[in-house]
Amino acid sequence: MRAASVLFASVIAFAAIEGAVFHTGLYPWILNPDASTGYVETILRNEIKRPKTGPQILGIGDSRMLLLPRLSNRHTAETGYTFGTIATAGASPRAWYYMLRDADPTSRRYRAIVIAVESYDDAERWNDENDNNEDLSYLIARLQLSDWWEFSRSYHDPDWQWKAARGIFLKGLVYKRDFQDLLLHPRSRLRYAKLNRRDAFSWNYNYDGPPDTLADFHVDWAAKTLIAPPNADPGLVQKLKFRLLDPLPAETGNESRYLTHWLGKIYEHYRSSPTRLIFLRLPRGGFVRPDQPRYNPHSSVRDLSMEPNVTLIDEHFFDSLEKPEFFRDEMHLNGPGMVPFSLMITQEVSRILGPPR
């Protein structure tokens, strides 16, 4: 009897300490801001604590959603809207859902959510996004015990299902690397985390983007050749060739199912709220390959656009930006490209929403 009670007490004590440290905001407070979880936490924390006066518009997407709120907000007097963004490099639609859920728990904080997608046709990807291994690290601080079943089952790979399932219960398993790094350099970590909490918002808000361009690159579509300048970074050349010249992945419907599920979850979050969901198709790159994915009339976003509070910005709205001088690599806008991109979003979204009521 003594053994049972002592063992029970041990389990309870472990669960209580694990819960207090990792299932509350305690540990996320000192996460390494440069690591996956810390990076997402910084972005979300900045957005959550950002003072919000007047109607708000929030952008979300991956690293290609290069909306500069600093530029958009110069026009607040004309548009009436204030812009923010939680776009995160490497974040997937699954991550967007959980990030939005925490950034806007009441579904009423924003007038509109601007969601940047790669394609309106659910273009297939080489990798199965369901098994995006970054998502668990990105979201671990945001996942709750009630997410256990849905989140872990959303992976297709049983190994990842297991990692997600145990990670949601024992978050320390996911924080492991971060914790070991903390053990190695406790002082510098605490200092950096504090500095990040204080200044990260202005670091991000004042980001200008790099000046590099693809202006010296050329593509001969007929010969299927990329002509690169002699001093070009070989890594960049390889990525450009892969994106522009390699065959497109075969259509399997996987990406469509994935997007339908997670964009659908985002829609469900805002279904009965005054928030409008506005989708935009990202500029495809400095060079646009001629063999684009097949038109899909029943893609996830096109089906969603039938709903009353969902709008698609014209698919070709950003075509004018698809020039080598506006891109720094195979898919990211550079500094000079980010300026018109941000201003175009500001104007178009404001137009769609009309003057604030």
The residues that touch other proteins, with contacts defined as CB under 8 A, are 1-3, 5-7, 9-10, 13-14, 17-18, 162, 166, 170, 172-173, 175-176, 179-180, 183-184
User: What's the Cα-to-Cα distance from 344 to each of 60, 62, 80, 180, 283, rounded to whole Å?
Assistant: 16, 18, 16, 44, 12
Q: Which two tokens stand for residue 218?
A: 């050329």
Question: Which residue lies nearer to other proteins by CB, 27 or 81?
Answer: 27
Question: Which residue lies nearer to other proteins by CB, 168 or 277?
Answer: 168
Residues 219/244, Cβ–Cβ less than 8 Å: yes
Question: Which residue lies nearer to other proteins by CB, 36 or 46?
Answer: 36
User: Could you tell me which of 323, 354, 356 has the C-alpha nearest to residue 340?
Assistant: 323
Q: How many CA atoms lie within 13 A of 230 on its CB side?
A: 0
* Closest approach of other proteins to the CB of residue 5, in Å: 8
Name residues whose C-beta falls within 8 Å of residue 198's C-beta, 6 or more positions apart in sequence: none
Residues 62/96, Cβ–Cβ less than 8 Å: no
User: Could you tell me which of 67, 125, 68 has the C-alpha nearest to residue 92?
Assistant: 125
The 8-class DSSP code of residue 29 comes to G
* Closest approach of other proteins to the CB of residue 13, in Å: 5
Q: Which two tokens stand for residue 115?
A: 């969601």
* Closest approach of other proteins to the CB of residue 35, in Å: 15
* Closest approach of other proteins to the CB of residue 18, in Å: 8
Question: Which residue lies nearer to other proteins by CB, 2 or 357?
Answer: 2
Spatial separation of the C-alpha atoms in residues 13 and 11, rounded to whole Å: 5
Residues 26/20, Cβ–Cβ less than 8 Å: yes
Question: Which residue lies nearer to other proteins by CB, 193 or 228?
Answer: 193
* Closest approach of other proteins to the CB of residue 148, in Å: 16
Q: How far apart are the first and last CA of the chain?
A: 67
Q: Which two tokens stand for residue 241?
A: 């060739």
* Closest approach of other proteins to the CB of residue 127, in Å: 20
Question: Which residue lies nearer to other proteins by CB, 29 or 207?
Answer: 29
Question: Which residue lies nearer to other proteins by CB, 1 or 77?
Answer: 1
* Closest approach of other proteins to the CB of residue 185, in Å: 10
